[in-house]
């Protein structure tokens, strides 16, 4: 909604933007406030619903006008760095972050949030992290992820599962299974998982993620220690015997091409934090693996906020 102010104090008035007390200018043009008047309060702005449309109302205790009297606002032409020199000069001491280019996105900045990760973690009484469960199809990734998710809920902890099949129903439904699409699939999931971790949530990502370089790229997004790689070290023949979705049978019949473990490689993790493998020929149950996972989270401080 144009001109609306959120908890962060962000104000958008058609070409002139105030974010957390700082201004960014757009191109020269006339604009209208559109929301009954604006009041500046401690370097932030709010919409004053009691003022008449197009007027600026001062705060009772020394508030400053925002400069859009009569409902009109003119922003200056931008400077060489994409900023409005008139706006920059209007607020003494104001330092604006530079505009940058990231990938194909141009003229963007990183806007900080007033609520810090540490504050969210204290509120949740836990620490955000990404538990990345990787392994062949049929190795038990999704089963472990869901069992762990329920166990954390029972402990009063907030977690969320990103499942390989589920994300392809929405976020990644435009991707196939070529090497390039697999890489983009994991890249997107890594970025989403990082957002969960930044909010203090324990994110459980369950993906075949067959290529080491893609998993390593996700690890690099996280702070040291916040990426917990769990390798489901289950033999191919065991996974093929289980074949809960019938995919191995289809792949062996040539009806699925590029299937991991059949005609596409899986690269084992070299230094995962946790390995789930057979002991004396027996694989642990999902409940037993969950106990192991909870112990790791407890020992490494993820189940408390400080």
State the pLDDT at residue 47. 41
| % residues pLDDT > 70 (the chain) | 69
Q: Which pair of structure tokens corresponds to residue 159?
A: 């977690």
Q: Which residue is catalytic, options 50, 137, 209, 285?
A: 209
- The span from the CA of 250 to the CA of 20, in Å, is 55
**Spatial separation of the C-alpha atoms in residues 248 and 233, rounded to whole Å:** 17
Position 255 scores a pLDDT of 95
pLDDT tens-digit readout, 177-224: 988 999 999 999 999 999 999 999 999 999 999 999 999 999 999 999
Give the tens place of pLDDT for each residue, 239-262: 999 999 999 999 999 999 999 999
155 and 80, same structural domain? no
SS3 186: helix
Q: At which of 59, 91, 108 does a domain end?
A: 108
Give the sign of the dihedral formed by CA 177, CA 179, CA 181, CA 184: positive
Strand 11-13 with 16-19, pairing: antiparallel
Give the chain's length.
Answer: 306
Cα–Cα distance measured from residue 268 to residue 203, given in angstroms and rounded to the nearest whole number: 22
> What's the pLDDT tens digit per position in 111-155?
777 789 999 999 999 999 999 999 999 999 999 999 999 999 999
CB-based contacts of 106, cutoff 8 Å, min separation 6: 99
> Does one domain contain both 173 and 266?
yes
For residues 88 and 16, membership in a common domain is answered with yes
Share of the chain above pLDDT 90, in %: 60
Number of domains in the chain: 2
Q: What is the mean pLDDT of the chain?
A: 79
pTM here? 0.69
Q: CA-CA distance, 104 to 84, in Å (whole number)?
A: 23
Same domain, residue pair 181 and 272? yes
Find the domain containing 83 and state its range. Answer: 11-108
Give the number of C-alpha atoms closer than 13 A to the C-alpha of residue 216, restricted to the C-beta side.
Answer: 8
306 assigned to some structural domain: no
What does the pLDDT look like over 261-286, one tens digit per residue? 999 999 999 999 999 999 998 999 99
The C-alpha atoms of residue 155 and residue 134 are separated, in whole angstroms, by 25
Look up 178 and say whether it is catalytic: no
């Amino acid at each position: 909604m144009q001109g609306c102010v959120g908890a962060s104090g962000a104000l958008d008035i058609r070409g002139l933007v105030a974010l957390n007390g700082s201004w960014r200018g757009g191109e020269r043009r006339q604009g209208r406030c559109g929301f009954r008047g604006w009041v500046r309060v401690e370097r932030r702005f709010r919409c004053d619903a009691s003022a008449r449309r197009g007027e600026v109302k001062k705060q009772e205790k020394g508030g400053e006008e925002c400069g859009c009297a009569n409902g009109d606002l003119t922003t200056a032409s931008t400077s060489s760095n994409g900023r409005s020199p008139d706006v920059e000069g209007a607020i003494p001491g104001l330092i604006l972050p530079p505009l940058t280019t990231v990938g194909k996105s141009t003229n963007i900045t990183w806007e900080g949030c007033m609520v810090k990760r540490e504050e969210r973690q204290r509120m949740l009484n836990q620490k955000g992290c990404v538990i990345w469960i990787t392994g062949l199809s049929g190795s038990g990734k999704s089963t472990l992820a869901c069992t762990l998710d329920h166990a954390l809920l029972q402990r009063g902890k907030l977690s969320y599962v990103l499942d390989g099949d589920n994300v392809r129903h929405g976020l990644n439904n435009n991707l196939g299974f070529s090497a390039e699409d697999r890489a983009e699939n994991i890249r997107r999931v890594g970025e989403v998982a990082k957002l969960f971790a930044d909010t203090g949530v324990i994110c459980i990502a369950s993906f075949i993620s067959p290529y080491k370089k893609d998993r390593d790229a996700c690890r690099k997004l996280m702070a040291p220690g916040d990426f917990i790689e769990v390798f489901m070290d289950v033999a191919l023949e065991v996974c093929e015997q289980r074949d809960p979705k019938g995919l191995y049978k289809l792949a062996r019949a040539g009806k699925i091409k590029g299937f991991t473990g059949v005609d596409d490689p899986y690269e084992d993790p070299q230094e995962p934090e946790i390995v789930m493998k057979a002991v004396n020929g027996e694989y642990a149950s999902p409940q037993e693996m969950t106990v192991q996972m909870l112990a790791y989270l407890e020992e490494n401080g993820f189940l408390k906020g400080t």
